[in-house]
């Protein structure tokens, strides 16, 4: 399926948000999931927990007196649920927390730390690298990425805490009947690629896919799509032959798509990791970092997939999904 204009921009009219369940990030998304995604559920209402009224779930006094911790999810369902999990968890631990209405993607999240508008964000480490150190080589080694982005966050007033075992990576997705099994196999197939607008600008996305020193693929066309379920719709309908999505999108399995092996190692590690405003971390001392690290260690990739299934397939709200998970793990 070809068109005369390479890298054309295909306008898409999204159905009402309630129809979609959203995915994301992250994925790699840049606004990576980096890129991030279109919201497919109604934004959560802002939840405010004043410092003088917060108590732990067992009725104890607040964990510590200190500044309010504002957390805001990027505007796609997985990131919204993640923000709710961290925010509700910290509220239960006794910290004064505001869970803000989701807005923006990676750029806005990082700016929130830099501008003092947010005290806590959770991002995908490979996406953070693409935003903060775009010239650094891509790597699947999470520890290497952490060494690159830790000083970059410090420069803008943020402290990068431990990454989680939960990973939502970039995925090169095709229909189940595709003859390709690796991304290299796509060269010569004259495929139309669909992905978000950020993919065009990212070395770990279209630039790397077309780079002769990496994959060297010449696509028949490039179609710009909103990140999220619309990627699956375009792939299923045949409007595109492949999409750049995220590995925890539940629609991939549900619709019989397959993820091609990244045989040239283009995509970076995409573990989730929290970033806390350094002045707030200093105000609370080591306890806040320890509490957040303990939560991060508990979240798995299977949890991300399960949360996305709840929000994107069963159309549940992220705050309810987060509460249920926290309760099931005795964290509320």
Is 306 part of any domain?
yes
Q: Which range marks the domain in which residue 290 is found?
A: 39-168+271-328
pLDDT in tens, the chain (332 residues): 433 333 333 333 333 333 333 333 444 344 444 443 333 344 444 444 433 333 443 444 445 689 999 999 999 999 999 999 999 999 999 999 999 999 999 999 999 999 999 999 999 999 999 999 988 988 999 999 999 999 999 999 999 999 999 999 999 999 999 999 999 999 999 999 999 988 998 888 999 999 999 999 999 999 999 888 899 999 999 999 999 999 999 999 999 999 999 999 999 999 999 999 999 999 999 999 999 999 999 999 999 999 999 999 999 999 999 999 999 999 99
Is 215 part of any domain?
no
pLDDT score at 115: 98
Cβ neighbour number for residue 175 with a 10 Å cutoff: 16
pLDDT score at 64: 60
Q: What residue spans of the chain are helical by DSSP H?
A: 77-92, 106-115, 125-132, 142-155, 206-210, 229-237, 251-254, 278-284, 286-298, 301-308, 318-328
Is 4 part of any domain?
no
Is 210 part of any domain?
no
* Residue linked to tokens 């279209």: 206
pLDDT score at 85: 98
pLDDT score at 227: 85
Is 26 part of any domain?
no
Q: How is residue 81 written in tokens?
A: 């649920």
Is 263 part of any domain?
no
Is 67 part of any domain?
yes
Q: Quick check: 63 and 291 in contact, CB under 8 A?
A: yes
Q: Quick check: 120 and 192 in contact, CB under 8 A?
A: no
Is 252 part of any domain?
no
Any idea what the CATH number is for the domain that residue 119 is in? Answer: 3.40.190.10
Number of domains in the chain: 1
């Amino acid at each position: 399926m070809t068109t005369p204009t390479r890298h054309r921009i295909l306008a898409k009219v999204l159905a009402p948000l309630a129809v979609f369940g959203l995915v994301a990030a992250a994925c790699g998304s840049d606004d990576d999931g980096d890129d991030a995604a279109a919201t497919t559920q109604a934004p959560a209402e802002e939840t405010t927990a004043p410092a003088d009224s917060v108590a732990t779930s067992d009725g104890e006094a607040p964990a510590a007196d200190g500044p309010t911790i504002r957390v805001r999810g990027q505007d796609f369902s997985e990131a919204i649920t993640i923000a709710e999990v961290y925010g509700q968890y910290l509220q239960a631990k006794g910290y004064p927390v505001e869970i803000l209405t989701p807005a923006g993607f990676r750029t806005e999240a990082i700016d929130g730390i830099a501008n003092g508008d947010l005290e806590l964000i959770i991002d995908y480490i490979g996406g953070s690298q693409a935003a903060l150190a775009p010239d650094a080589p891509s790597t699947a080694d999470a520890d290497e990425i952490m060494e690159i982005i830790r000083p970059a966050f410090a420069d803008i007033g943020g402290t990068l805490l431990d990454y989680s075992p939960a990973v939502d990576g970039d995925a090169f997705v095709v229909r189940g009947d595709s003859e390709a099994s690796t991304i290299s196999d796509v060269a010569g197939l004259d495929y139309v690629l669909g992905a978000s607008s950020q993919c065009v600008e990212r070395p770990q996305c279209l630039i790397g896919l077309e780079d002769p020193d990496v994959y060297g693929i010449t696509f028949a066309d490039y179609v710009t799509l909103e990140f999220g379920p619309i990627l699956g719709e375009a792939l299923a309908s045949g409007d595109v032959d492949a999409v750049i999505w995220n590995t925890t999108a539940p629609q991939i399995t549900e619709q019989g798509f397959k993820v091609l092996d990244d045989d040239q190692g283009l995509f970076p590690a995409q573990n989730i990791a929290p970033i806390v405003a350094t002045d707030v971390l200093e105000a609370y001392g080591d306890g806040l970092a320890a509490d957040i690290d303990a939560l991060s260690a508990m979240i798995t990739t299977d949890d991300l997939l399960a949360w996305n299934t709840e929000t994107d397939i069963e159309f549940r709200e992220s705050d309810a999904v987060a509460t249920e998970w926290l309760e099931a793990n005795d964290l509320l």
